[in-house]
Amino acid sequence: MASANDLSAPQVISALAMALRRLHQVPTEKCPFDHPLQQRMAAARNRVSAGLVDESDFDDERLGRTAEDVFLELLSTLPETYDLAVTHGDACLPNFMVEASRFTGYIDCGRLGISDIYQDLALAARSIERNLGPAWVAPFFREYGVEPDQQRIAFYCLLDEFY
């Protein structure tokens, strides 16, 4: 959807919020893939230990830091609350298909599974900020129907640095 030049920003926001709400409403018992945070944290730790984290690909605010240092920051920011649902896992704009301003499908579902909804909302917010501008993040959360939890947004964007 990031390259959908024929869509206005409000259309993108509406389609993305609807697509995520629809996915997050799927009953978790129907999803065979579970991605508990403990498992994702262990995988991130293993990637750091194995030297598999691309430090040159960190977001701008973390460039120049080591993967170990960023992982320690991650440990200090663990969220206290979780809203488990079926999540996409990499909810950036290019991973959603639209046709005639209507959501039509998901792409790159390798991380799909049961997780905190902020796994998706955080990466969606980051993608919106990068592709549409920061002014569109608040309308996205309004359209989705939740107040943004800045701590969880920051945490899940930080966790994404390890994948």
Report the catalytic residues. Answer: 90
Phi, psi torsion values for 113, nearest 5 degrees: 165, 180
Closest CA to 34 of 83, 72, 84: 84
Rounded CA-CA distance 125/76 in Å is 22
Closest CA to 86 of 143, 29, 163, 127: 29
Report yes or no: 29 and 41 within 8 Å, Cβ to Cβ: no
Q: What angle do CA 86, 32, 75 make, to 5 degrees?
A: 60
Rounded CA-CA distance 62/137 in Å is 21
**Assigned token pair, 118:** 């902020």
**Residue 60 CB-half CA count within 13 A:** 2
